Amino acid sequence: MADFDGAREIVLLALLVVCAFTDLAYGKVYNWATFPAIVLGLMLGYILGGVNEPGAAFTLAGSLYGIALAGGIFGVMFLCGAFGAGDLKLAAAIGALKGWRFTLAATAYSALVGGVLALAVLIWKGQLRRGLKDSLVAVVRPGKLRERGEDSPARLTVPYGFAISVGTLWAWLRLTANLF
């Protein structure tokens, strides 16, 4: 069983590297990377702990809970237009491979990385002041920017698949590899 648990870590790390690269290089997180990872996560959950075996560290139920948590958090953001479908599927794959507890931590770290990345993009484009103002308007009065029909700096593209990959790697280094 330890070999299968190691396979889970290898699949996760490979997924993160591939998705970070494709998001930076092509602006996409591809289905050919995320769907097999979701299926493997479900299969490994069943192999390692059955459906919901008491005392098992990782189970099929844990994998499904991870998918549900990621789908809930990233699904809402996808419906609001904040993320693409590829980002949602990447988060679901992470949930399938590592379960809900890890997914919760990875989501928090990804949000931190995404926030820093968004600030960096605003600074790079020379739109920091306007972007912060528009972000505040979007929080206080949702839909106001759309009413004005402005091309807002808040709409600048941030490679969030990259942020998810880096944030998840950070969580993995802290929680699984016991670094940092």
163 falls within a domain: yes
Task: Report the SS3 class of residue 4.
Answer: helix
Least confident range from 12-16, 71-75, 98-102, 126-130: namely 126-130
- In sequence order, the 6+-apart residues with CB closer than 8 A to the CB of 3 are none
Q: How far is CA 140 from CA 41, 70, 143, 144, in A?
A: 39, 26, 10, 9
117 falls within a domain: yes
pLDDT band at 99; cut points 50, 70, 90? very high
Say which residue, 106 or 6, is predicted with more confidence: 106
- pLDDT for position 121: 84
71 falls within a domain: yes
- pLDDT for position 56: 65
Structure tokens at 99: 């379960």
Buried b (16+ CB within 10 A) or exposed e, 73-96: bbbebbeeeebbebbbbbbbbbbb
- pLDDT for position 88: 95
180 falls within a domain: no
59 falls within a domain: yes
Report how many domains make up the chain: 1
Mean of pLDDT values over 95-104: 94
CA dist 131 and 85 (Å) reads 24
Q: What are the tens digits of pLDDT across the range 133-172?
A: 776 666 666 555 454 455 554 456 788 999 999 999 999 9
54 falls within a domain: yes
Q: What are the tens digits of pLDDT across the range 18-61?
A: 999 999 999 999 999 999 999 999 999 998 888 877 666 788 99
Chain mean pLDDT for the chain: 85
145 falls within a domain: yes
Q: CB–CB of 95/63 below 8 Å?
A: yes
Structure tokens at 143: 């839909």
Mean of pLDDT values over 96-118: 94
Q: CB–CB of 94/164 below 8 Å?
A: yes
How far, in whole angstroms, is CA 92 from its chain's centroid?
8
75 falls within a domain: yes
Q: How far is CA 137 from CA 42, 74, 152, in A?
A: 41, 22, 11
Structure tokens at 52: 């919901």
**Whole-model pTM?**
0.84
Domain that holds residue 110: 2-175
- pLDDT for position 145: 47
CA dist 78 and 83 (Å) reads 5
